[in-house]
């Protein structure tokens, strides 16, 4: 049995889709994909028949991701500050239908909630509710009974609902709120910015101890608005720029230094007619797959140098 290039690419995309949502890391997901495809190639090369390559690749990718999460548990528990996923960035608007689907299962806010689930709960929730696998298929993938898989799904859904209630948001509403947000931030318009934020909006930063970042999350529209405006003024002070992009299927921006080096990725969580969350990812290890990374410390140092002249 052999697979053509198009079939392999389809399998690669499915493996990455599962692994990235499981792990929240582009580099780790790519490692899982590579290993899954190597195993598939070896099995096919041995002459063994695989009835469903799609089911095989989903099984291998899921099990590898679960193993990786278990081995990374201590490392993530010791992570400095808030942990946020490595962002997936798309320049431009992209396909509206595809983006609407991505917002639900790929958003930074959703993946952050998944981080609080056990590896098995995460796998069941994703396979069932995102990828539409049957409970019988999931049971086989995880080598569990259908009853235990259903119990895992119930617990996972309950936790996700508690942490992140679902709201219907139109594409037009996303664009209106995002455009207003970034325009108000660049203008330093606090009243306009506060009007777009939910009362309990949360600003989270992920520096991983490798870049200046928030020591803890900031909650409340006034505090978040003031922080965003202060950040924008700092950026303007050292000649930085902000580029609107799509981040994990939703509205976001790239923040660059005066030389074009990437300093941060911002992602907005839009729901229920307001911006409910802002994520600022500045850990350079989580930005290297996007562009050449700049140094936040050097940018701030240059600003201080200008102020002393």
Q: Could you tell me which residues are beta bridge partners of residue 202?
A: 219, 277
pLDDT-derived band at 168, boundaries 50, 70, 90: low
State residue 94 phi and psi, 5-degree precision: 70, -170
The distance from CA 172 to its chain's CA centroid, rounded to whole angstroms, is 22
Record: fold of 171-308: Nuclear Transport Factor 2; Chain: A, (3.10.450)
Collect all residues with Cβ–Cβ distance below 8 Å to 253 and sequence separation of at least 6: 182, 242, 243, 244, 245, 247, 265, 266
CATH architecture label of 5-83+112-163: Up-down Bundle (1.20)
- Cβ neighbours of residue 258 closer than 8 Å, sequence gap 6 or more: 238, 239, 240, 299, 302
User: Minimum mean pLDDT among 56-70, 76-90, 117-131, 251-265: which range?
Assistant: 76-90
- pLDDT tops 50 at residue 298: yes
Evaluate if residue 74 carries a pLDDT over 90: no
- Judge whether 254 and 265 are in contact, CB under 8 Å: yes
Helix orientation angle between 296-308 and 221-237, rounded to the nearest 10 degrees = 70
The pLDDT tens digits of the residues spanning 22-43 come to: 999 999 999 999 999 999 999 9
pTM, full prediction: 0.89
Give domain limits for the chain: 5-83+112-163, 171-308
**Domains 5-83+112-163 and 171-308 belong to one CATH topology:** no
CA distance 59 to 65: 10
Q: With CA atoms as reference, report the closest residue to 85 among 124, 65, 115.
A: 115
Q: Rounded CA gap, 155 and 87, in Å? A: 27
- Candidates 257, 253, 275, 277; CA nearest to 265 is 253
Q: Which residue has the tokens 């850990």?
A: 283
């Amino acid at each position: 049995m052999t697979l053509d290039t198009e079939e392999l690419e389809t399998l690669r995309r499915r493996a990455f889709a599962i692994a990235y949502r499981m792990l929240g890391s582009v580099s780790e997901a790519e490692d899982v994909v590579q290993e899954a495809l190597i195993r598939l190639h070896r099995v096919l090369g041995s002459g063994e028949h695989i009835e469903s390559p799609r089911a095989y690749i989903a099984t291998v990718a899921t099990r590898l991701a679960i193993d990786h999460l278990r081995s990374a548990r201590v490392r993530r528990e010791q992570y400095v500050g808030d942990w946020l996923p490595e962002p997936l960035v798309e320049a431009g608007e992209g396909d509206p239908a595809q983006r609407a689907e991505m917002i639900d299962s790929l958003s930074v806010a959703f993946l952050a909630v998944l981080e609080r689930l056990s590896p098995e709960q995460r796998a069941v929730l994703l396979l069932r509710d995102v990828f539409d696998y049957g409970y019988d298929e999931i049971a086989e993938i995880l080598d569990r009974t259908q009853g235990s898989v259903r119990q895992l799904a119930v617990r996972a859904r309950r936790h996700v609902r508690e942490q992140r209630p679902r709201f219907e948001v139109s594409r037009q509403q996303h664009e209106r709120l995002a455009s207003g947000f970034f325009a108000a931030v660049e203008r330093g318009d606090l009243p306009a910015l506060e009007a777009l934020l939910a009362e309990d909006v949360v600003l989270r930063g992920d520096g991983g101890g490798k870049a200046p970042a928030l020591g803890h999350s900031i909650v409340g529209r006034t505090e978040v608005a003031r922080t965003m405006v202060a950040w924008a003024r700092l950026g303007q002070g050292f000649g930085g720029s902000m580029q609107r992009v799509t981040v994990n299927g939703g509205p976001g921006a790239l923040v660059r230094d005066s030389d074009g080096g990437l300093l941060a990725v911002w992602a907005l969580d839009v729901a229920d007619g307001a911006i409910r969350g802002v994520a600022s990812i500045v850990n350079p290890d989580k930005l290297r797959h996007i562009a050449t990374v700049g140094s936040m410390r050097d940018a701030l140092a240059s600003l201080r140098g200008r102020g002393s002249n």
